[in-house]
Amino acid sequence: MKVTFPQAKEIKNILPAIVSFLSEGTFKANKDGIFLSSLDPANVAVILLDMYPNMFTEYDVQDEEKFTINLEDLKKIMTKVALKNQISWEIDKEKNKFILTVYGKAKKLFTLPLIESEGSFMDLPNLELPVKVEMDSKAFYDIIDSAKVIADEIKVVADPDGPKVSFIAEGELKDMRIDLTPQDESVLSMEVPSKAMARYSIDYLYKLSKVARISDTLTFKLDSGKPIWIDYKSTDKFRFGFVLAPRE
């Protein structure tokens, strides 16, 4: 397997959010793309990354293969890579190595060992989440960032009357409420066929939503007492998402 990114920007911006919860990642590569789908050690969130062939200037994947690498080490290497640098990923099965090549003023070659992992690629079940909102990704981050100073969990309430979706954080002496409606400038579309309410960890949402810069918009889906599924997409190039379990 060998693939080449035209620039390091997207993967460099996504990695810190992934590494906040996963120290290593198991990727699946095939003709349709390179995919990561892993449950965090606390069993609270599934981290998703889909990178499609259109994301790459070179895409050479002959057979389906899985490989596991240390994501913390990859993140450290990527701190030395400029956003506009072209990079490539390659698997050397004979040497059991992951090879990262950086093309800049000088060609740099980094290698990481392929590791055997107790984790695995996680196939998600189909989740029926009828409440669906597409909105500005930076506006969503601002909501979570504001809630972070109030409480450690956020309540999301969907009401078909309106319709509207409310984000509510309640502390001992302070609280916050932000209502989203289809008329808001930050909301592109909203589907609320029925009432729904669920609570989620603000810490998880905050760390994961810090990738707002990678995509102008995001889509979130939820239902009462069920996970929230959030996707950041860039046309037909990639998708970064996560599925976060609700709090009781």
CATH of the domain at 193: 3.70.10.10
* 181 within 8 A of 192, measured Cβ to Cβ: no
pLDDT under 70: residue ranges of the chain: 118-119
Judgement on whether residues 105 and 148 belong to the same structural domain of the protein:
no
Domain hosting residue 20, numbered range:
2-113
Counting the structural domains of the chain, the total is 2
pLDDT of residue 118: 60
**Pick from 223, 227, 148, 133: which is nearest to 180 by CA?**
133
Judgement on whether residues 154 and 87 belong to the same structural domain of the protein:
no
Q: Which of 87, 113, 139 is the last residue of a domain?
A: 113
Judgement on whether residues 43 and 139 belong to the same structural domain of the protein:
no
Residue 20 within a domain:
yes
Judgement on whether residues 107 and 135 belong to the same structural domain of the protein:
no
Residue 227 within a domain:
no
Judgement on whether residues 91 and 152 belong to the same structural domain of the protein:
no
Bond prior to 163 in cis (omega within 30° of 0):
yes
Q: Which residue has the tokens 């504001």?
A: 146
pLDDT of residue 119: 60
- Alpha carbon 230 to its chain centroid, in Å, reads 8
Q: Which of 113, 141, 164 is the last residue of a domain?
A: 113
Judgement on whether residues 107 and 42 belong to the same structural domain of the protein:
yes
Judgement on whether residues 8 and 105 belong to the same structural domain of the protein:
yes
Strand partners, 154: 200
Backbone phi and psi for residue 105, each to the nearest 5 degrees, phi listed first: -65, -30
Report the alpha-carbon distance of residue 169 to residue 150 in Å, rounded.
6
Report the alpha-carbon distance of residue 41 to residue 43 in Å, rounded.
5
Q: Which residues contact 82 (CB under 8 A, 6 or more apart)?
A: 8, 104
Residue 95 within a domain:
yes
Judgement on whether residues 85 and 176 belong to the same structural domain of the protein:
no
Judgement on whether residues 14 and 96 belong to the same structural domain of the protein:
yes
Judgement on whether residues 100 and 138 belong to the same structural domain of the protein:
no
Residue 87 within a domain:
yes
Predicted TM-score (pTM) above 0.85 = yes
Report the alpha-carbon distance of residue 100 to residue 82 in Å, rounded.
14
Residue 86 within a domain:
yes
Judgement on whether residues 51 and 148 belong to the same structural domain of the protein:
no
Residue 238 within a domain:
no
Residue 122 within a domain:
no
What would the pLDDT profile of 50-71 be if each residue is shown by its tens digit?
Answer: 999 999 999 999 999 999 999 9
pLDDT of residue 235: 78
Token duo for residue 235? 């046309």
Residue 235 within a domain:
no
Judgement on whether residues 151 and 213 belong to the same structural domain of the protein:
yes
Token duo for residue 200? 């989620």
